[in-house]
Amino acid sequence: MSDKHSQHKSRYTVDRQIPGAFEGETVTRRRFMTIGSQAAGGVAAASFLLPALGFAIGPIFKEQPHTWESVGPTDMFPDNNYIPTVITLTPGIGEAGKATVYVRKRNPLLDTDKADLHTQFIAITSRCAHLGCPVRWVDAAERFICPCHGGVYDLLGRRVGGPPVRPLDRFYTRVVDGLVQIGPRFSVNSELERFSPRDPGEPIDGIGQYMYPSRPSERK
Amino acid sequence: MAKRRKLPAPPMPSALQAPPPRPGEGNGATPIDHAAEAGKTVVDWVDERTSLSGAARWMMFRKVPKGTNWFYTLGSATMFAFLSQAVTGVFLAMYYRPDPSGGAYESIRHVTNEVFLGQFVRGMHKWGSSVMVILVFLHMGRTFFFGAYKYPRELNWVIGVVLLILTMTMSFTGYLLPFDQRAYWATIVGVNINGTGPLIGPYLSDFLRGGGEFGATTLSRFYAIHMLLVPGLLAALIGAHLYLVAKLGTTAPPWIKAEKNPELRKVDA
């Protein structure tokens, strides 16, 4: 029989004088049933909660296929002014899935960012880098101007005024059979260096690129 | 009950006269008395099996402090605004189609222009949402300035803050549903404001949109959050909020001082 005041107690229920305990039993049947039924309830709840949660947040991690959309022949786009074109970002939802993209030919005198096969034409989004309103290219001012909160960008899409935190996003372009095609989006920092696409309002200069991580599905 | 004075009946042929009451009948009970009796029977039947009347008495017949005034009705006013939103929302859902390729806008146009009382019910829901937000803030201000958030009511303040956030979530998700230009761009901006929170912001805005771009399921996501997820949480938390109000009682306004007269401070045993 164990001492009432001793710190150490036997593991065996029969030693603890629990009525009906078997020799060698360490957990009472009552306690075992309690743990067992709570575990069963937990499993039952998890079996519908986890799939439902995964179902709700799944689209975040889904990789979107890269699509290329033709917007016009190469001679349609000058190298000193933008031509507005409309591409479909999300098919199947009509007007809500379309977006304006401003396109011009690359101008070696102006464009100092990295030149490669996919930047022979410069395609600049109309999505303001502040909070996503549609910017408009104003030819006379040679500025992109946002109607919502007064963001202003220059010819290269760099911020020159207002609240935006980074330059306007761009799209990769390519030429296929004499047609300019617009591909996936990428973001640029204030040096016009390329980054994985970020949402508006997310700075990517300096620490910003770590504070606002890109999508796992679109990271390169 | 005073007996009604009756004029003597005019002389009528016996065939047309009402027959005299039979033994066991005619104890003076009117149909209204019978209906009241039936109602009592039903209530007793339910109460005997649920003891609900005790809960109702506990909830309704509470002592309130001296100085209780009209500011104390703001919470109930908010609750009735919520009930109005719930009822009008259920009926709007009967006509609404969360279809981003034109169906949503068309169904709202149909409700507003063609359905009988549609403009009225939609207007109740639209303006009622603003009324509810205003009432929530007035109620919160009343609680703050009367010091009613202090011990032992801190938890009820916390629940109230969650209710405020859920109300704002309702306003945000409901704003997209008409799917006109204002709704679309306001939602784009709103989702991107969510995205400006560091570290979790980008994931939060992707969760709201259901992807990286405003997509085919964004509208139905907002609709499900607006009419299924948040209202359930709101109703449950309003229940908890009310339970704590009834359990803890309300506070006296800060300008009511404690009674100085010891006789009046005696507590009834």
* β partners of residue A100: A86
Domain boundary among A19, A46, A62: A62
Q: Are A23 and A76 contained in the same domain? A: no
A200 interface with B at CB cutoff 8 Å = yes
Q: Are A98 and A29 contained in the same domain? A: no
Q: How far apart are the first and last CA of chain B?
A: 37
Of B202, B213, B216, nearest to A92 by CB-CB distance is B216
Mean per-residue pLDDT, A186-193: 93
Q: How far is B103 from chain A (nearest CA, A)?
A: 10
Domain ranges of chain B: 69-178+222-248
Q: Are A50 and A74 contained in the same domain? A: no
Q: What is the ipTM of this complex?
A: 0.84
Domain contains A220? no
Structure tokens at B21: 């009451």
Q: Are A15 and A109 contained in the same domain? A: no
Q: What average pLDDT does the structure give for chain B?
A: 91
Q: How far is A211 from chain B (nearest CA, A)?
A: 5
Distance CA A75, CA A87 (A): 19
- Report CB contact under 8 Å: B192, A131: yes
Neighbours of A165 (CB within 10 A): 20
| DSSP secondary structure string for all residues of A172-204 | EEEEETTEEEEEEEEEE-TT--EES---TT---
Distance CA A126, CA A135 (A): 5
Segment A109-118, tens digit of pLDDT: 988 888 888 8
B228 interface with A at CB cutoff 8 Å = no
pLDDT of residue A144 exceeding 80, the answer is yes
Question: How many structural domains does chain A have?
Answer: 2
Distance CA B85, CA B91 (A): 10
Neighbours of A189 (CB within 10 A): 17
Q: Are A45 and A123 contained in the same domain? A: no
Q: Output the domain CATH number for residue A188.
A: 2.102.10.10
Mean per-residue pLDDT, A94-100: 90
Contact A166, A203 (CB under 8 A): yes
A67 interface with B at CB cutoff 8 Å = no
Distance CA B114, CA B116 (A): 6
Structure tokens at A33: 């049933």
Contact B205, A215 (CB under 8 A): no
Residue B14 has a pLDDT of 79
Residue B163 has a pLDDT of 98
Higher pLDDT, A87 or A95: A87
Residue A18 has a pLDDT of 84
pTM: 0.84
pLDDT of residue A45 exceeding 90, the answer is yes
The H or E element containing residue B124 is: helix B118-145
Mean per-residue pLDDT, B189-212: 91
A214 interface with B at CB cutoff 8 Å = yes
Domain contains A103? yes
Q: Are A53 and A73 contained in the same domain? A: no
Residue A106 has a pLDDT of 94
Mean per-residue pLDDT, A30-58: 94
Mean per-residue pLDDT, B101-126: 95
| CATH dotted code for B69-178+222-248 | 1.20.810.10
Q: Are A121 and A138 contained in the same domain? A: yes
Segment B141-191, tens digit of pLDDT: 999 999 999 999 999 999 999 999 999 999 999 999 999 999 999 999 999
The H or E element containing residue B192 is: helix B181-195
pLDDT of residue A3 exceeding 90, the answer is no
B205 interface with A at CB cutoff 8 Å = yes
| Residues of B in Cβ contact (< 8 Å) with A219 | none
- Give buried/exposed letters for A13-40 (b at 16+ CB in 10 A, else e): beeeeeeebeeebeeeeeeeeeeeeeee
Ramachandran bin of A88, using left for φ above 0, alpha for ψ from -120 to 50, beta for the remaining angles: beta
Q: Are A170 and A206 contained in the same domain? A: yes
Mean per-residue pLDDT, B99-111: 94
The pLDDT-based confidence of A28 (bands split at 50, 70, 90) is confident
Looking at chain A from residue 103 to 162, which residues have their Cβ under 8 Å from any Cβ of chain B?
A: 131-134, 148
Q: Are A92 and A108 contained in the same domain? A: yes
Neighbours of A197 (CB within 10 A): 19
Distance CA B257, CA B255 (A): 6
Distance CA B234, CA B132 (A): 13
Residue B164 has a pLDDT of 98
Residue with tokens 């933008």: A82
Distance CA B239, CA B175 (A): 26
Distance CA A125, CA A186 (A): 10
Domain hosting A153: range is: 69-214
Domain contains A202? yes
Residue A192 has a pLDDT of 92
Domain boundary among A44, A62, A80: A62
Residue B147 has a pLDDT of 94
A176 interface with B at CB cutoff 8 Å = no
Structure tokens at A75: 């001679």
pLDDT of residue B269 exceeding 60, the answer is no
Q: Report the C-alpha dihedral over residues B178, B179, B185, B186, rounded to 10 degrees.
A: 20
Residue pairs spanning A and B at CB distance below 8 A:
86
Segment B231-254, tens digit of pLDDT: 999 999 999 999 999 999 999 999
Domain contains A185? yes
B210 interface with A at CB cutoff 8 Å = yes
Q: Are A82 and A50 contained in the same domain? A: no
Q: Are A103 and A181 contained in the same domain? A: yes
- Report CB contact under 8 Å: B101, A59: no
Domain boundary among A23, A39, A62: A62
Distance CA B269, CA B257 (A): 23
- Report CB contact under 8 Å: B211, A60: yes
Q: Are A98 and A25 contained in the same domain? A: no
- Report CB contact under 8 Å: A148, B215: no
Orientation angle between helical segments B201-209 and B181-195, nearest 10 degrees:
150
- Report CB contact under 8 Å: B202, A215: yes
Residue B249 has a pLDDT of 93
Segment A121-141, tens digit of pLDDT: 999 999 999 999 999 999 999
